[in-house]
């Protein structure tokens, strides 16, 4: 384990990280429990402050509805609500094993979650609570990648961990599932991502991270133990800075 891992970190989890082949439609409780175990274990062992921005793509994505004739802003609102469903599921699973959390949402719904207020979010982190940030940014036409970048900057996270679920552990020169000679990049610059058109994250988010000097670690989140390696600064995935 690296001695020098960042003490405040933001993890972006796609909704699809919560599904499995056995349960492809919404949330697989077994996958969720494993994820929660990894998160709670790493937070308590490493003593880090962790924010999580969760996506909603396992339930709904704005462009899905837009393609079916639903007005884009309404469809995006549906996507934002989907992220709240995932956040509540994640909260339940993490608290079940004793790690305190708070769900904070950019879309106000006082009965189920706190509103996102930056200073309150930081206070929760200082008190050792994992904050789960739902509702994206509360605005249509954005993705939770961009929300994750924004929240990471707002809470002063030292790094954004972008967990993928593609079966590929980082950024490769070609798709390693198709090309056995593909090599993993251990490090890349933001300009490399743009110039080589490497689509590991929404381009709006990439630009934001570049402009705000926020390093991004792209790594495969699903294999047990990977999340802890990422949070502890071990050599894993691809570091973009
Ligand atoms: N969304 C939005 N504004 C935001 C964040 C998300 O409108 O600030 C909507 C958008 O429709 C998006 C959906 O919520 O497709 C789910 O988020 P995302 O696609 O980023 O989820 P992920 O792919 O990470 O599971």
| pLDDT given at position 2 | 63
| pLDDT given at position 35 | 93
Predicted confidence (pLDDT) at residue 40 exceeds the cutoff of 90? yes
Q: Which residue puts its alpha carbon closest to atom 6 of ligand 1?
A: 143
As for ligand 1, residues whose beta carbon falls within 6 Å of it are 14-16, 55-57, 61-62, 76, 79-80, 82-83, 136-137, 139-140, 142-145, 147
The number of CA neighbours under 13 Å toward the Cβ of 58 is 25
184 CA → ligand 1 middle, Å: 28
Q: What is the mean pLDDT of residues 29-37?
A: 93
Q: What is the pLDDT of residues 159-200, one digit of tens each?
A: 999 998 877 888 988 888 888 888 889 999 999 988 888 888
Asked if 162 and 216 count as a contact pair (C-beta separation under 8 A), the reply is: yes
Q: What is the pLDDT of residues 46-71, one digit of tens each?
A: 999 999 999 999 999 999 887 789 99
Containing 217, the helix (H) or strand (E) segment is: strand 216-220
Q: Where are the beta strands (DSSP E) in 57-100?
A: none
172 CA → ligand 1 middle, Å: 25
* Closest ligand 1 atom to 77 CA: 7
132 CA → ligand 1 middle, Å: 15
Asked if 42 and 130 count as a contact pair (C-beta separation under 8 A), the reply is: no
Q: What is the mean pLDDT of residues 79-100?
A: 98
| pLDDT given at position 165 | 85
What are the backbone dihedrals phi and psi of residue 212, each rounded to the nearest 5 degrees, phi first?
-110, 15
To test the pocket of ligand 1, the residue of 16, 55, 133, 199 to mutate (highest count of ligand atoms within 8 Å of its CB) is 55
Q: What is the mean pLDDT of residues 88-110?
A: 97
| pLDDT given at position 174 | 81
166 CA → ligand 1 middle, Å: 18
**Mean pLDDT computed over every residue of the chain:** 93
Q: What is the pLDDT of residues 195-238, one digit of tens each?
A: 888 888 999 999 999 999 999 999 999 888 899 999 999 999 99
Predicted confidence (pLDDT) at residue 4 exceeds the cutoff of 90? no
What tokens does 100 get?
A: 């305190």
Q: What is the pLDDT of residues 118-132, one digit of tens each?
A: 999 999 999 999 999
* Closest ligand 1 atom to 141 CA: 7
């Amino acid at each position: 384990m690296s001695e020098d891992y960042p003490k405040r970190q933001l993890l972006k989890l796609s909704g699809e990280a919560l599904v499995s082949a056995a349960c492809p439609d919404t949330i697989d409780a077994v996958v969720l429990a494993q994820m929660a175990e990894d998160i709670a274990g790493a937070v308590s062992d490493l003593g880090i402050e962790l924010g999580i921005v969760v996506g909603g793509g396992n339930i709904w994505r704005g462009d899905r509805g837009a393609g079916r004739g639903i007005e884009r802003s309404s469809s995006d609102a549906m996507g934002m609500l989907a992220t709240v469903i995932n956040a509540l599921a994640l909260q339940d699973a993490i608290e079940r094993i004793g790690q305190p959390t708070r769900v904070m949402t950019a879309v106000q719904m006082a009965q189920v979650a706190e509103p996102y207020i930056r200073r309150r979010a930081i206070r929760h982190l200082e008190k050792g609570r994992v904050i789960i940030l739902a509702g994206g940014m509360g605005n249509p036409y954005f993705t939770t990648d961009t929300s994750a970048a924004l929240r990471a900057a707002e809470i002063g996270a030292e790094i954004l961990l972008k967990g993928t679920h593609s079966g590929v552990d980082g950024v490769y020169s070609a798709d390693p599932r198709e090309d056995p000679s593909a090599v993993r990049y251990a490090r890349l610059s933001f300009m490399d991502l743009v110039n080589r058109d490497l689509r590991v994250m929404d381009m709006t988010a990439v630009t934001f991270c570049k402009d705000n000097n926020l390093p991004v670690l792209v790594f495969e989140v699903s294999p047990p133990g990977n999340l802890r390696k990422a949070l502890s600064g071990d050599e894993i995935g691809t570091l973009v800075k």
